[in-house]
Each structure stands twice: as structure tokens, then as C-alpha cells.
Amino acid sequence: MKLTNDVEELNKIARELRIDILTMLNKAVSGHSGGSLSAIDILTALYFGRMKHDPAMSVEEDRDKFVLSKGHGAPALYAVLAKCAYFERSQLNSLRKLNAMLSGHPFSPSTPGVEVSTGSLGQGLSMANGMALANKLDGKKGHVFCMMGDGENQEGQVWEAAMTSAHYGLDNVVAILDHNGLQIDGAVSDIMGVEPLDKKWAAFGWEVIEIDGHDMAAILDAIDRALAVKGKPALILAHTVKGKGVSFMENKAEYHGVPPSDDELKIALEELLPA
């Protein structure tokens, strides 16, 4: 895939992908809007700005891999993969439908470009570690990126995996924490506090890079800094806004697992489409 450093271009792609996300969710009549929109700028930066990857798998030896541990953000991943031509764009219309390629949560056997199946929270970083350890064994240079949610950090396995990455010095693992502050039942701080996330991850042996997860230039820079870390894993602590880009969805826990209605989609598209 040809990558770009052009922040304007990446922001344009992210805006298009937001439209794809909302449209596919509307057609599916179920699914997770808020967390897909909070993640999409980072996913755009990864797939169109930094990750060495190719739908034809022509760079298999040293290709970078991505694990969406917060599997409910699948629409964001699907929008990206379709734009990268891992599968036909028309597949987006059949999200969550019977026998469709695109399952409600990422399911690797059916979807090209999906490395592992995720959705039961807390397991993605462990799987990313396994892939990264295999890369080290084989002398492959590829990195494994893993995106988690902040609510997901309530899962004990996340911290088991955090220990593993640090213990084995996995500098080929880059975790990204989509820190939008909300989970299904409300604010993360009200449901089960996870702070201080920066200090926790640092205490677990990680290099922590804190950014605004919607500032495209900052995201690119953070990825570069994470890739340059040697001898230990890096975590990009990305402060994000759940529902980012759609005024009535922003910072609303209610839109965690709810798609836009027809009327809501119309308003959202008006906001997102260039005037």
C-alpha cells in the first residue's frame, strides 16, 4: 500500500470513513457507533500513513499487523479494510447480515485483513504478543499494533498481557488505548475507575506516549515515536471523544452500541460532508 504523510489527505480519508461507518451501521440496524468514531482517526493514520501492509500480502515477510482488541469497533476496521481493497466495498452493505463476510465483531476466518477474532474483551493484546513473539523468532521486522478500549482495561487479562509484552521486551508491539472515557453503562470513572492509565502502563514496563487521538499530525508522530522505542513495548494513550465527528453522538455513552436511525444518519452526513 502506498502510504502518505499528508495530514490533510488523511483527515479527508477519515471523514469519508466516518460516513462509511455511519452508513453501514444504519443499514445493519445494530452495532457500535461511538467507539468506531473515536477510533477511526487512529486507524486511518495506521493503515494509510504508517503500517506496511498490502491486501495482496506481497510484503508478508516484514508486514505490520493490526489487532482490534476492542472488537466492537469493527465498523471502523471494516471501513478501513474496504478502502484498502482487502474486500469489495459493497460488502459494507451486508454488515451483520446472515452469511455476510462482515460479522458483528471481527471474525478472521471470514474477513480478509482480519488477523484474529476479537470481541470478548481483553484477549487481543495477548494474541498480538503471540504474533510479535513469532516475528522475533523468525527474524521478521514487522510490528504488531493492538488497539484496546479504556473500559477494556478493566479486564484482568489486559494486565497479564501487559506483563508479557514487557517481560519479553516486545518492542515490536505497539498498543493503542482509545481512551474515550465512556463505556456501555456510563463514564469509565463511574463504572470502574482505571486511572491513572499513564502511570499504570508505565509501571508495567511500557513506554507511554500520550496524545490527542483526533490530531492527525500528533497520531503520526506518536506512531513514529512508538516504532522507535527499543527494548520494551510502547503504548499510545490516545485521548479521544466517543462519537467524534457527529455532534449529537459526541461524548454520549448511549451511542456505544446504537446505530444511527435514518433521520440521525441524514443529520450526521450533513455534518460530515464537505459544504
Partner 1 sequence: MNGVTRSVEKKSLRDAYGATLLELGDSNKNIVVLDADLSSSTRTSKFAKKHADRFFNMGVAEQDMISTAAGFAAAGKIPFVSTFAIFATGRAWDQVRQSVCLSGMNVKIVASHGGITVGEDGPTHQALEDITLMRVLPNLTVIVPADAHETSAVIKKVAETDGPFYVRTSRDKFPVLFDEGQPFEIGKGTVMRDGSDVTIIACGVMVSKALTAAEILLADGISAVVINMPTIKPIDEDLILKMAETTGAIVTAEEHSVIGGLGGAVAEVVSEKRPCPVVKVGMKSGFGKSGKPEELLNAYNMNSAAIVEASLRAVSMKL
Q: Which of 129, 172, 183, 240 binds partner 1 (CB under 8 A)?
A: 129
Write b or e for each residue in 228-239: b if 16 or more Cβ atoms lie within 10 A of its Cβ, otherwise e: ebeebbbbbbbb
For 232, phi and psi rounded to 5 degrees?
-155, 165
115 lines the binding site for partner 1 (CB under 8 A) = yes
- Backbone torsion region of residue 96, taken as left when φ is above 0, otherwise alpha when ψ lies between -120 and 50, otherwise beta: left
169 lines the binding site for partner 1 (CB under 8 A) = no
Exposure of 200 in the CB half-sphere (CA atoms within 13 A): 14
Q: Is 212 helix (H, G, I), strand (E, B) or coil?
A: strand
Site string for partner 1, 187-226 (x = CB under 8 A): ----------------------------------------
* Helix pair angle (7-28, 262-272), 10° resolution: 170
Residues 6+ apart with CB under 8 A from 190: none
Least Cβ distance, residue 56 to partner 1 (angstroms): 18
Least Cβ distance, residue 69 to partner 1 (angstroms): 10
168 lines the binding site for partner 1 (CB under 8 A) = yes
C-alpha span between 132 and 129 (Å, rounded): 5
Of 41 and 155, CB closest to partner 1: 155
Q: Dihedral sign for Cα 176, 94, 111, 50, please.
A: negative
154 lines the binding site for partner 1 (CB under 8 A) = no
Of 111 and 240, CB closest to partner 1: 111
204 contacts 195 by C-beta, under 8 angstroms: no
Q: Which of 36, 123, 180, 183 binds partner 1 (CB under 8 A)?
A: 123
Of 36 and 164, CB closest to partner 1: 164
111 lines the binding site for partner 1 (CB under 8 A) = no
Of 133 and 269, CB closest to partner 1: 133
133 lines the binding site for partner 1 (CB under 8 A) = yes
**What is the β-pairing status of strands 207-212 and 234-239?**
parallel
43 lines the binding site for partner 1 (CB under 8 A) = no
The helix, strand and coil proportions of the chain, stated in percent and rounded to the nearest 5, come to 45, 10, 40
Of 58 and 108, CB closest to partner 1: 108
C-alpha span between 258 and 246 (Å, rounded): 13
What letter represents residue 211's amino acid? I
Q: Which of 135, 153, 172, 180 binds partner 1 (CB under 8 A)?
A: 135
Q: Which of 163, 192, 203, 273 binds partner 1 (CB under 8 A)?
A: 163
128 lines the binding site for partner 1 (CB under 8 A) = yes
- For the chain, first and last CA: distance in Å? 30
Stretch that binds partner 1, among 9-17, 152-160, 183-191, 264-272 (CB under 8 A): 152-160
176 lines the binding site for partner 1 (CB under 8 A) = no
Tell me which residues touch partner 1 (CB under 8 A).
Answer: 107-109, 115-120, 122-124, 126-135, 137-138, 156-157, 160-161, 163-164, 167-168
